């Protein structure tokens, strides 16, 4: 078939199918986000227009925003579908680098198709080209190499024949999953080649189910049988494997308390007697108490990020770590006993290997007892006060109480991740997306657009602060224009409140975070009219004056998001210094020398914390 490079790539995308958890099939690539310009409008743009009835194309307003929406699709679809974004060359391409970083840090699939400069070089230097004096082959798209799991620059049409199988491998492999970047020089996009018809035959991608090595399995089972206080840690890999049910049955059969990581939140029903809560800095004291006492930790599908491990102080130095992970890279971390396998298959075989073994009953009962204390603490934080601004915990409580089992809740940066991770009570399985791998301000709104595309049941709600709203809000218009509804709850607390907390909590003075601490030539600087701004972008708006009116406004917003198929924005002023605390430590870079005694004291606390860090477990 004589096709251009762009036509061949698009037709290959149409031929890729995916098997969902329920056994049904769907397109691997459900749609493409695009901003056309110099470098992609004629090549990829023409190819996409030719199949516009079969492959939806949504126009973004900002390349970073639309690429973050593509990431949101991958997360909401549990890595079974992949968002795609294409841009022009130069600044349009570079705007997508941040989104690639989000996908890479969170091990999420994303296909980026940035335009690139001419391979023929006859018109060099072209518009938006950055010239490298030492290397004429380098372009700005080389910036993607650091944040791509797989990178290729297509300089000949026939190169697609060898690279596309690798593209599909990375996007669908549980161990290697991450962003793929195909840099597409604009002259090569338009070149034609006689592609074999077999390239465009339908391919169904089924979840890979790697089984564990028998020797590693025996070693893991032996370590667990020797445990008096085992603890099961569930991460995002359990979600992407569809293994939540398997993990819960494993815990029940062997009486093992269960805790969740950020990416593993909402895998376990909140009231389950073995559920001890979320782990780590933004987790719960209940989970952290059990983690400190555990003698064997079974970590499933988690990369054990610093917020999960409290910078590696949450576990006992004598703990034995068994890490079950599809990626060997993650399984061997910190000297753990590595069990490289799919979460579902690995837990199934580990259950068989343990047989009738059970943890001591008094240890099993600790999970529910400790979580009940944490629940009481959260309930007290959610209780409305007689005066003062609403807190994040109270806002989250209202949204939580109204949400149902099909609803999906999101956030990304600032103080709200701690409130959702630590305080949310699961309403349905795998119904939370807290982007706390890259903690990207602006993901909250753009990712919600992607999630609203991927999820056909329930309501998507994203919670964000005023700082994140101002960082990236243009995709509100994209979603309103395209007809994708979700609810955004904007909490206005006068600036970057959580960083102010970090700054002052480590001995510093408030500086350049909250608005009163920022330089301005005005005695009374202007304030943002978030409701008016969101309305101008085509959103329904529901400003709230107090906590008492939040539930009613949120219910109305949910209804509008569904019936009118556009974003509905709830705006509420919130307290700038009230937080949910789990009592865990986090290592941060406090200066060794300072003009402030308070900073010197904070530095001493850092050294005290570092003395408790577990550096290597074996």
pLDDT in tens, 435-468: 999 999 999 999 999 999 999 999 999 999 999 9
pTM of the predicted model as reported, rounded to 2 decimal places: 0.97
Whether residue 554 is contained in a domain is answered as yes
Whether 337 has a pLDDT exceeding 80, the answer reads yes
Asked whether the beta carbons of 317 and 614 are under 8 A apart, the reply is yes
* Res 386: pLDDT: 74
* Res 316: pLDDT: 94
Which range of residues forms the domain containing residue 127? 2-205
Closest Cα partner for 222 from 320, 316, 292?
320
Asked whether the beta carbons of 461 and 399 are under 8 A apart, the reply is yes
Whether 264 and 159 map to the same domain: the answer is no
Q: What is the mean pLDDT of residues 498-503?
A: 94
Whether 218 and 144 map to the same domain: the answer is no
Write out the H or E segment, with its range, that includes residue 68. helix 63-76
Whether residue 54 is contained in a domain is answered as yes
* Res 502: pLDDT: 94
* Res 540: pLDDT: 98
Distance CA 39, CA 89 (A): 5
Asked whether the beta carbons of 178 and 209 are under 8 A apart, the reply is no
Among 346, 373, 400, the domain-final residue is 373
What phi and psi, each to the nearest 5 degrees, are found at residue 345?
A: -65, -40
Task: Give me the residues paired with residue 487 across strands.
Answer: 461, 568
Whether residue 66 is contained in a domain is answered as yes
Cα atoms in the Cβ-side hemisphere of radius 13 Å centred on 254: 28
Domain at 446, CATH number: 3.40.50.970
- In sequence order, the 6+-apart residues with CB closer than 8 A to the CB of 73 are 30, 31, 81, 82, 83, 450, 451, 453, 454
Whether 617 has a pLDDT exceeding 90, the answer reads no
Closest Cα partner for 112 from 139, 149, 78?
149
Closest Cα partner for 265 from 289, 292, 290, 233?
233
* Res 347: pLDDT: 98
Whether 284 and 322 map to the same domain: the answer is yes
Distance CA 615, CA 441 (A): 31
Asked whether the beta carbons of 277 and 268 are under 8 A apart, the reply is no
Distance CA 394, CA 7 (A): 52
Among 373, 399, 422, the domain-final residue is 373
Chain length of the chain: 618
Whether 102 and 51 map to the same domain: the answer is yes
* Res 614: pLDDT: 86
In angstroms, how far apart are the furthest CA atoms of the chain? 76
Cα angle vertex 527, ends 521, 530, to 5°? 150
Asked whether the beta carbons of 367 and 257 are under 8 A apart, the reply is yes
The lowest-confidence range among 7-11, 29-33, 60-64, 121-125 is: 121-125
Distance CA 320, CA 463 (A): 37
- Find tokens 């004429």 and name the residue: 136
Whether 235 and 201 map to the same domain: the answer is no
Concatenated DSSP letters of 251-299: HHHHT--EEE-STTTTSS-TT-TTEEEE-STTS-HHHHHHHHH-SEEEE
Whether residue 599 is contained in a domain is answered as no
Indicate the pLDDT class of residue 139, thresholds 50, 70 and 90. very high
Whether 70 and 122 map to the same domain: the answer is yes
Whether 9 has a pLDDT exceeding 80, the answer reads yes
Q: What is the mean pLDDT of residues 516-538?
A: 96
Distance CA 552, CA 542 (A): 10
Q: Model confidence over 474-500: pLDDT tens digits?
A: 999 999 999 999 999 999 999 999 999
Whether residue 591 is contained in a domain is answered as no
Whether 616 has a pLDDT exceeding 80, the answer reads no
The lowest-confidence range among 99-103, 162-166, 558-562, 614-618 is: 614-618
Whether 618 has a pLDDT exceeding 80, the answer reads no
Whether residue 199 is contained in a domain is answered as yes
Report how far apart, in Å, the C-alpha atoms of 343 and of each of 18, 265, 294, 349 are: 19, 16, 21, 10
Whether 524 and 550 map to the same domain: the answer is yes
By the 10 Å C-beta count (0-12 exposed, 13-18 middle, 19+ buried), 357 is classed as middle
Distance CA 430, CA 585 (A): 27
- If DSSP states are collapsed to H, E and C, what string results for 452-495? HHHCCCCCEEEEEEHHHHHHCCCHHHHHHHHCCCCEEEEEECCE
Residue 604: CB atoms within 10 A of its CB come to: 11
Whether 339 and 454 map to the same domain: the answer is no
Report how far apart, in Å, the C-alpha atoms of 549 and of each of 151, 528, 542, 545, 554 are: 50, 21, 10, 7, 9
What phi and psi, each to the nearest 5 degrees, are found at residue 569?
A: -110, 120
Whether residue 43 is contained in a domain is answered as yes
Whether 440 and 302 map to the same domain: the answer is no
Indicate the pLDDT class of residue 388, thresholds 50, 70 and 90. confident
* Res 321: pLDDT: 97
How many domains is the chain built from?
A: 3
Sign of CA dihedral 148, 153, 157, 158: negative
Q: Model confidence over 241-261: pLDDT tens digits?
A: 999 999 999 999 999 999 999
Write out the H or E segment, with its range, that includes residue 373. helix 361-382
Whether 468 and 520 map to the same domain: the answer is yes
Whether residue 511 is contained in a domain is answered as yes
Among 171, 205, 239, the domain-final residue is 205
Indicate the pLDDT class of residue 615, thresholds 50, 70 and 90. confident
What phi and psi, each to the nearest 5 degrees, are found at residue 115?
A: -65, 160
Residue 516: CB atoms within 10 A of its CB come to: 12
> What's the whole-number average pLDDT of the chain?
96
* Res 373: pLDDT: 98
Whether 408 and 354 map to the same domain: the answer is no
Concatenated DSSP letters of 191-216: -EEE--GGGGS-EEEPPP-PPPPHHH
Q: Model confidence over 544-591: pLDDT tens digits?
A: 999 999 999 999 999 999 999 999 999 999 999 999 999 899 999 999
Whether 120 and 170 map to the same domain: the answer is yes
The lowest-confidence range among 128-132, 282-286, 372-376 is: 128-132
Indicate the pLDDT class of residue 421, thresholds 50, 70 and 90. very high
Domain at 289, CATH number: 3.40.50.1220
């Amino acid at each position: 078939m004589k096709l251009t490079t762009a036509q061949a790539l698009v037709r290959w995308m149409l031929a890729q199918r995916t098997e969902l958890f329920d056994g049904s099939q769907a397109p691997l690539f459900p749609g493409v986000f695009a901003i056309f310009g110099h470098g992609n409008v004629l090549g990829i743009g023409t190819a996409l227009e030719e199949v516009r009835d079969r492959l939806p194309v949504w126009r973004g307003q900002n390349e970073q925003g639309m690429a973050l929406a593509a990431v949101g699709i991958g997360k909401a679809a549990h890595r079974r579908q992949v968002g795609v974004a294409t841009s022009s060359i130069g600044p349009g391409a570079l705007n997508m680098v941040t989104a690639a970083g989000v996908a890479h840090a969170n091990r999420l699939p994303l296909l980026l198709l940035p335009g690139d400069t001419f391979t023929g070089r006859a018109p060099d230097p072209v518009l938006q080209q950055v010239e490298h004096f030492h290397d004429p082959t380098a372009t700005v798209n080389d910036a993607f190499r650091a944040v791509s799991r797989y990178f290729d620059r297509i300089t000949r049409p026939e190169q697609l024949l060898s690279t596309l199988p690798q593209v599909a491998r990375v996007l669908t492999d549980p161990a290697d999953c991450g962003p793929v970047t195909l840099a597409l020089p604009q002259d090569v996009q338009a070149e034609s080649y006689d592609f074999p018809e077999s390239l465009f035959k339908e391919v169904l991608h089924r979840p890979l189910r790697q089984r564990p090595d028998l020797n590693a399995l025996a070693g893991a089972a032996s370590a667990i049988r020797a445990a008096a206080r085992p603890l099961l840690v569930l991460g995002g890999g359990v979600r992407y494997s569809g293994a939540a049910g398997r993990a819960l049955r494993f815990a029940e059969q062997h009486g093992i308390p269960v805790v969740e990581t950020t990416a593993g939140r909402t895998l376990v029903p909140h009231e389950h007697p073995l559920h001890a809560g979320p782990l780590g800095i933004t987790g719960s004291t209940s989970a952290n108490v059990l983690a400190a006492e555990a003698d064997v930790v079974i970590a499933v599908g988690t990369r054990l990020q610093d917020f999960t491990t409290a910078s590696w102080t949450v576990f006992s130095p004598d703990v034995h770590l068994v890490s079950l992970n599809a990626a060997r890279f993650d399984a061997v971390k910190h000297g753990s006993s590595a069990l490289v396998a799919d979460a579902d298959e690995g837990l199934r075989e580990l259950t068989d290997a343990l047989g009738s073994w059970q943890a001591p009953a008094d240890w099993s009962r600790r999970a529910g007892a400790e979580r009940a204390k944490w629940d009481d603490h959260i309930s007290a934080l959610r209780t409305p006060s007689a005066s003062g601004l609403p807190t994040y915990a109270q806002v989250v409580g209202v949204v939580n109480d109204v949400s149902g089992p099909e609803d999906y809740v999101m956030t990304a940066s600032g103080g709200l991740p701690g409130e959702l991770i630590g305080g949310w009570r699961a309403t349905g399985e795998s119904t939370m997306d807290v982007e706390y791998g890259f903690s990207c301000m602006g993901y909250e709104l753009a990712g919600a657009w992607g999630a609203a595309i991927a999820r056909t049941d329930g309501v998507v709600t994203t919670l964000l602060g005023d700082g994140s709203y101002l960082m990236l809000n243009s995709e509100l218009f994209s979603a309103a224009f395209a007809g994708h509804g979700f609810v955004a709850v904007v909490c206005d607390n006068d600036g970057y409140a959580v960083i102010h907390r970090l700054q002052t909590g480590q001995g510093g003075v408030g500086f350049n975070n909250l608005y009163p601490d920022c330089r301005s030539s005005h005695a009374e600087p202007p304030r943002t009219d978030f409701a008016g701004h969101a309305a101008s972008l085509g959103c329904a708006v529901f400003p709230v004056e107090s906590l008492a009116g939040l539930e009613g406004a949120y219910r109305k917003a949910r209804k509008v998001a569904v019936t009118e198929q556009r974003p509905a924005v709830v705006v509420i002023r919130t307290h700038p210094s009230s937080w949910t605390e789990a009592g865990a430590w986090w290592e941060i870079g406090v200066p060794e020398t300072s003009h402030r005694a308070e900073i010197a004291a904070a530095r001493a606390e850092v050294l005290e914390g570092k003395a408790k860090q577990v550096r290597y477990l074996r």
